[in-house]
Amino acid sequence: MSKDYVREKLSIAVSCLAASAAPIRERVGNAGLSGLTTLTAEDFWDADEGARFERIREALGTFSPIGDEGSMQTSAAFMTEERAVEIAREITELYHLAVQE
C-alpha cells in the first residue's frame, strides 16, 4: 500500500474518533471498522509503526461478531472505557507519525 493510502485510512479512523459525542467505545469500534480494516502491519514503512498497528488490530479483534456488528465493534464494546481511551490515543498517535513521514 502507498503511504498516502495508509495516511488516508488513519485519517478516517481519527475522524471517527473526533466526529461525534458517542461513547468512546463506540467511536473506537467505528474507527476500526471505517479506517483500519483494509490495513495490515506490512503496510507501514516502519517496523515499530507496523507493530503498533498490529497491537491496535489485536485489541479490536478480540471478540467474534455479535448480530450485525463486526468483530471490531464487538471488541470495542467489551473494552473498559480506559482501554478504549488507550486505543483511541494509539490510533491518533499512529496517524500523527504517519503524516510526519
| pTM: predicted TM-score of the whole model, two decimal places | 0.90
Nearest to 9 by CA among 45, 27, 33: 33
Question: Residue 29 — left, alpha, or beta (φ > 0 → left; ψ -120 to 50 → alpha)?
Answer: alpha
Tally of CB atoms within 10 A around 55 = 13
> Residue 90 corresponds to which cell in the numbers above?
494509539
Model pLDDT for residues 67-100, shown as the tens digit of each residue: 777 778 888 989 999 999 999 999 999 999 999 8
Domain positions in the chain: 3-100
Q: What's the burial of 48, exposed, middle or buried (CB within 10 Å: 0-12/13-18/19+)?
A: exposed
